[in-house]
Chain A
Amino acid sequence: GAGVSQSPSNKVTEKGKDVELRCDPISGHTALYWYRQSLGQGLEFLIYFQGNSAPDKSGLPSDRFSAERTGGSVSTLTIQRTQQEDSAVYLCASSREDRGSETQYFGPGTRLLVL
């Protein structure tokens, strides 16, 4: 079946603008994660959603970052008043979270460049 998809694949914006990044997880996957990866760095956890539980937002770097997941499926990550340090690849991943099925499947990412 289809994998995790993300849009846009690339986004160039000006400092101070808001951006929305979208993630379509694999159908049936209850868990959804957002990560950020700066050039040459590891993955930085941002937020995860699991079913109807309250999301774990502990990784969001500031209150300019927010995310929602509608209907337990599609998720949107919003960055308000973007700053140059927000430039990175934003990766979304989903998993089934069944016993023995903890594998995260990643989308191709959105490359964000803030000028």
Chain B
Amino acid sequence: RKEVEQDPGPFNVPEGATVAFNCTYSNSASQSFFWYRQDCRKEPKLLMSVYSSGNEDGRFTAQLNRASQYISLLIRDSKLSDSATYLCVPRTSGTYKYIFGTGTRLKVLA
């Protein structure tokens, strides 16, 4: 089983839609979780950090389910500028190692 699994997509959604991605992780020792977005041919940039059960920032909501070992990202009122690849990144407790998922590609269509 991969350490981090994400549906690669692409998710094609119209502007204004709500879309959700799931990410499952295998290491139960993971304590911190991050969602990064990566635009085509650009470096990843932090979207959101999750340390407890979830986090919300404007149109973006992350929810963590430790028992089932998955984390989700919900995007409301999608914008064209949300088109990117979204990377799920758990961090193992006691180490500095971040494990990057391969990402879920989102295309928001006009």
In the assembled complex, A104 has its CB within 8 A of some CB on chain B: yes
The residue in chain B whose Cβ has the minimal distance to the Cβ of A43 is B100
Number of A-B contacts (CB under 8 A): 42
CA distance A15 to B13 in the complex (A): 43
Binary interface profile of A, 3-30, with partner B (CB < 8 Å = 1, else 0)? 0000000000000000000000000000
Alpha-carbon gap, A45 to B102, bound state (A): 12
Q: How large is the interface on A (under 10, 10 to 19, 20 to 34, 35 or more residues)?
A: 20 to 34
Q: How large is the interface on B (under 10, 10 to 19, 20 to 34, 35 or more residues)?
A: 10 to 19
CB-contact partner of B32 in A43, A102, A107, under 8 A: A102
Q: Contact: A45 with B44, CB < 8 Å?
A: no
**Does B43 contact A56, Cβ atoms closer than 8 Å?**
no
Residue pair A56, B87 in contact (C-beta under 8 Å): no
Does B74 interact with chain A (Cβ within 8 Å)?
no
Q: Which of B90-105 contact A (CB under 8 A)?
A: 91, 95-103
Residue B59 interfacial (CB < 8 Å): no
Residues of B near A35 (CB, < 8 A) are 100
Known contacts: A102-B49, A102-B91, A103-B49. The answer to whether A42 contacts B96 by CB under 8 A is no
Q: When the two chains form their complex, are residues A42 and B98 in contact, meaning their CB atoms are under 8 A apart?
A: no
How far, in Å, is A113 (CB) from chain B's closest CB?
Answer: 14
Assuming A45-B97, A50-B96, A56-B97, is B46 touching A104 (CB within 8 A)? yes
Q: B98: which A residues are within 8 A, CB to CB?
A: 33, 45, 104
Binding site for A on B (CB under 8 A): 32, 34, 42-46, 49, 87, 91, 95-103
